[in-house]
């Protein structure tokens, strides 16, 4: 039997750069990125409508910034404003709008599609950039805590389809990420807080010291202390990126330990019709899996209490009525989330639980009765008043 074996590696590299007021004329961080280009780098900019409402001068600043630096960077057309939040990922017409714009602007593969906004908008734009011309360079400027410390600094993009989160998407890293903390100031309290849950998550499974730092800073974080938030975002982004680089970045295998607390989170987000923010759902998902780990006998009562107390101190609600929704077979609907999680990932069911603070452990089955008990426990302790 004749055969030809193909074998190659592809190298991916990008930086996450922390800055303040990226499009101030005096800030050269953005334009310096394009230092080695032969011609002015073409940028097509897409802006999150929700964020834009708080930054009405943004387009003006961007235009001035590009004009001031016109030898190195060039705007392609007018910035496009698109609905942010989960709507960006649920409505397929936004994807079409972006693709149509790339065609009309004659964007080529060496141009840049730059997205400014929350994680959902970045996911949408990243997907469009991944598939137009088989890949246009994509720059991310995340404007929420969650996007700056997690979703915006990684290698995934996607949109929702068939009622399933991220059903369509790709693994394609951005070419650069600019984390501008100026955008955090105008976040409402929910969006400020929501992203902190991803930091708790990664601390719990990777870094006990970081967990203790979050404990120490919980009150300040909750009362919107900028410096504490900057450190939290930096360390959280770093842990996520280290994990990605060290562990199957394009998820070809079965393991996906960064998704601690996420199997239930995705499902209740969807059941709440995205009234819950992703980060809020993750906090509940963590509370559920921590309760489960405790009831299962994997972690001590003290550990379980420490974690739920931290989430409470950070201002998270730890129960949502969608956890208790029952399907026609009389089962908890969130259990379906386990199956969807497995389908999305493929292979054996693999769920990350806790061994102790700072160390996760993978399991391949979950006890449905114990999930029910965990939900009941959260309901009795944490039903919002």
The CA distance from 266 to 337, in Å, is 7
* Residues 115 and 98: beta-carbon distance below 8 Å: no
Q: Check residue 136 and report its DSSP letter.
A: -
Is residue 166 near a copy of itself by the rule CB under 8 A?
yes
Stretch that binds a copy of itself, among 11-19, 49-57, 308-316, 357-365 (CB under 8 A): 11-19
Contact letters for a copy of itself, residues 256-295 (x by CB under 8 A) = ----------------------------------------
Is residue 182 near a copy of itself by the rule CB under 8 A?
no
The CA distance from 265 to 346, in Å, is 18
Stretch that binds a copy of itself, among 230-238, 280-288, 308-316, 323-331 (CB under 8 A): 230-238
SS3 assignment, position 297: coil
Beta pairing partners, 81: 47
Is residue 249 near a copy of itself by the rule CB under 8 A?
yes
Q: Which of 54, 70, 78, 164 binds a copy of itself (CB under 8 A)?
A: 164
* Residues 66 and 55: beta-carbon distance below 8 Å: no
Binders of a copy of itself among residues 20 to 39 (CB under 8 A) are 29, 38
The per-residue DSSP string of 341-362 comes to HHHHH-SS--EEEEEETTEEEE
Stretch that binds a copy of itself, among 243-251, 269-277, 298-306, 360-368 (CB under 8 A): 243-251
Contact letters for a copy of itself, residues 50-89 (x by CB under 8 A) = ----------------------------------------
Picking from 315, 274, 322, 295, the residue whose alpha carbon sits closest to that of residue 91 is: 274
Phi-psi group of 77: left, alpha or beta (phi > 0 → left; psi -120 to 50 → alpha; rest → beta) = left
**Residues near a copy of itself (CB under 8 A), total:** 68
* Residues 109 and 91: beta-carbon distance below 8 Å: no
Go through 23-39 and write b for each residue having 16 or more CB atoms within 10 A of its CB, e for each that does not: bbeebebbbebbeeeee
Is residue 2 near a copy of itself by the rule CB under 8 A?
yes
Q: Which of 250, 257, 295, 312 binds a copy of itself (CB under 8 A)?
A: 250
For the record, the structure tokens of 373 come out as: 């008990």
Q: Which of 43, 69, 90, 111 binds a copy of itself (CB under 8 A)?
A: 111
Is residue 337 near a copy of itself by the rule CB under 8 A?
no
Chain residues in the site for a copy of itself (CB under 8 A):
1-19, 29, 38, 99-100, 103, 106-111, 127, 130-136, 153, 156, 158, 161-162, 164, 166-171, 173, 234, 237-238, 241, 244-245, 249-251, 254, 342-348
């Amino acid at each position: 039997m004749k055969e030809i074996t193909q074998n190659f590696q592809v190298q991916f590299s990008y930086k996450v750069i922390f800055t303040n007021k990226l499009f101030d004329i005096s800030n050269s961080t953005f334009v310096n990125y394009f230092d080695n280009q032969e011609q002015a780098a073409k940028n097509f900019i897409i802006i999150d409508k929700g964020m834009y409402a708080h930054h009405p001068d943004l387009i003006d600043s961007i235009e001035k910034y590009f004009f001031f630096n016109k030898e190195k960077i060039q705007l392609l057309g007018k910035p496009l404003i698109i609905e942010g939040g989960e709507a960006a990922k649920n409505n397929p017409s936004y994807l079409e709008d972006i693709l149509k714009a790339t065609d009309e602007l004659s964007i080529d593969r060496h141009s840049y599609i730059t997205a400014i906004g929350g994680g959902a908008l970045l996911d949408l734009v990243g997907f469009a950039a991944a598939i137009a011309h088989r890949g246009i360079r994509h720059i991310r400027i995340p404007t929420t805590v969650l996007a700056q410390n997690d979703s915006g600094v990684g290698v995934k993009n996607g949109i929702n389809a068939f009622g399933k989160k991220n059903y369509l998407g790709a693994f394609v890293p951005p070419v650069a990420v600019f984390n501008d903390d100026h955008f955090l100031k105008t976040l409402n309290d929910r969006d400020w807080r929501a992203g902190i849950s991803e930091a708790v998550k990664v601390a719990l499974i990777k870094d006990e010291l970081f967990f203790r730092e979050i404990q120490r800073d919980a009150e300040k974080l909750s009362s919107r202390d900028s410096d504490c938030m900057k450190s939290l975002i930096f360390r959280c982004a770093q842990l996520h990126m280290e994990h990605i680089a060290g562990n199957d970045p394009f998820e070809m295998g079965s393991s996906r330990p960064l998704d601690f607390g996420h199997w239930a989170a995705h499902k209740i987000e969807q059941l709440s019709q995205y009234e819950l923010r992703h980060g809020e759902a993750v906090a509940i998902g963590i509370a559920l899996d921590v309760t489960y780990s405790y009831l299962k006998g994997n972690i001590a009562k003290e550990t379980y209490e420490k974690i739920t107390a931290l989430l409470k101190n950070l201002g998270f609600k730890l129960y949502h009525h969608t956890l208790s929704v029952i399907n026609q077979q009389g089962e908890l609907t969130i259990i379906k989330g386990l199956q969807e999680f497995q389908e999305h990932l493929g292979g054996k069911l693999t769920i990350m639980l806790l061994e102790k603070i700072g160390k996760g452990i993978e399991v391949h089955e979950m006890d449905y009765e114990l999930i029910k008990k965990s939900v009941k426990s959260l309901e009795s302790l944490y039903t919002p008043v």
